A and B are shown apart, each in its own frame.
Chain A
Amino acid sequence: MENTIDRDHGKQMLYQMMLIRRFEEKAAELYTQTKIRGFLHLYVGEEAVAVGVMQALKTDDNILSTYREHGHALARGVDPGRIMAEMYGKQEGCSRGRGGSMHLFDAGKKFFGGNAIVGGHLPVAVGVALAAKKQKAARLTCCFFGEGAAAEGEFHESMNLAMLWEVPLLFVCENNLYAMGTALRYSHSLPQIELKGSAYGMESMAVNGMDVLAVEEAAIRAAEKIRSTGKPFLLVCNTYRFRAHSMFDAELYRNKAEVEEWKKQDPITALQNLLLEQGSLDAAAISELESTVETAVQKAVGFAEAGSWEPVEDLTRFVYSEPQNS
């Protein structure tokens, strides 16, 4: 962990990571109560990546994400209540309940999903970045994906296209070491994902994804590079998920000791310790943060609970644009 950090900025990032952590724990609980259904992929352990990268993005920048995207959406500022309502399937959800956990959208926040075909959103991200280039806009596009996606053809096509066309695209690979249950070493001939950038002449770097300050710094550097050159950048954040792949996963593919070992690198604990050490926060302030987080999560759950079901007559809406959309 780096030495010092601005008190307010540190507190704000800590709050975001704690919010994601608590939000995910609550989601798991609600899943067991069948309030949330479908697939539920939790971000616990990886919070530093979303929060760190988000520091480098401006409100006008575009974001595309994966099906493990609650953390990205929260860090981007999508309302927690609307996210929770989405997971409940209520029409007050950020995607009107049509998407669920894997498909969080908020066009106002330039948050374009929530994409659940591994690697499928990478070409789309290239196109979104290409549009900005054609429109001569300063916008950057940030695309999150896992190391599993880096084995997909679409990753390679997208890397090539992005570099070939020189579009302002930040590829953020969240390498949590497991594609569902298949470890990195079983799925990649070259497990250092960042080295794959060189095959396309694309600048890249790897960063400790458990260290929010390191992620933040790397992301800012990458974003500056992109904004100044117009060329894409591959940022690999090595991280770890503390919980199973999804709710119904016995975790036969990794042992508990490994998980415990990684938990020692918990990004939230690390940042708390740093802030405590440098005297920016005291224990009371942290417990006050915890209670603020708890309140926010309770409020989100309350919002979702109070939400309403879309009328069945609306079933076939949003297949094609309605007049107001066109």
Chain B
Amino acid sequence: MIEFRMPSLGADMEDGTLVEWLVKPGAAVKRGDIIAQVDTQKGLIDIEIFEEGVVKELLVGEGEKVPVGKTLAVLDSTEHRVGIKASPLAKRMAAEKDIDLALVTGTGEGGAITKEDVEKAAAAVISAKIEKTAQVDEKKEATELLETSSARHNIRQAIASAMSKSNREIPHYYLETKIDLTRSLAWLTETNRERTVKNRLLPVVLLIRAVALALKKVPELNAWYENGLVKKEEINIGFVVSLRGGGVMIPAIRDAGGKSLDELMTALNDMIPRARAMKLRSSELVNTTITITSLGEGQVELVYGVIYPPQVALVGFGAILEQPWAENGMLNVRKTVSVTLAADHRATDGMTGSRFLTELNSLLQTPGSL
């Protein structure tokens, strides 16, 4: 057992604020690894560890201020560490993809890491590596990093792997509908009028909130398909963020169903810049239960997405555009958005998707309830 304590980084240092953990329980660390960032009187400092082991428990939460010498985490020393249980295939794949198995949670027999676990971890772990690299050399711009290191290649590889698997294994079906956003946008304008510029809401949070609420009504789409449909309690929406240099990151909006519009906006404001700067924590990239891709600005009306396995659905929003709209025998021009649902036909059928889109439409017609 190793106790990792708040280090004394100078004679005048009395305490520090644990800003961010760079490891999580189960991670293997070795001498010299940066495992946390601590804010001190002198600024943000990387904290390195001088021993080797596996993180057992993090005792101090992010944001906590603790005195020097306080135990921040406990680690199992490598000597006593039980070997990582992984299938030969998983080990081989991990070696090929340069993935640290200590960071992978096993779901196989007796908790063994399987091929699928490695595949699942691939995207997240690769992103975590990029993040780590970025932190080690803070002077480098994230964009530069993308250009110069293998990070761009890694991201591409992760996307390629996940999307190929999706197209190979998931029988997609697609539904689309056009939703009149007149009421929602009017409501948004009204709300934003009372807010400071900083706190204003963007249309996309209405869409995200509506998706989360619609999923509560149609929970079959908030699920994983693993030898059958596995519905998920928590709604963790993966939100596609395009990177400037190409590629995408899909940070998770945790418990989107439990978040208010303001909380969703805060989450987006926090995550999107960090995603673009590739400063996301690996924990923010995993366990998503559905994905939203939104084209936002631009003129493209429709997006037919590729499901991110093992999820069973992806909701795509086109650009919000003025369109001719027929209603009650009258032709009008309205602000509309085209929504597509890509869903896994192994998991659900068109009727389920249809219920979802209908519910989504109905929610967006009553923005006050969002």
- The reply, when asked whether chain A contacts chain B directly with Cβ atoms under 8 A, is no
Measured CB to CB, the residues of B under 8 A from A are: none
Measured CB to CB, the residues of A under 8 A from B are: none
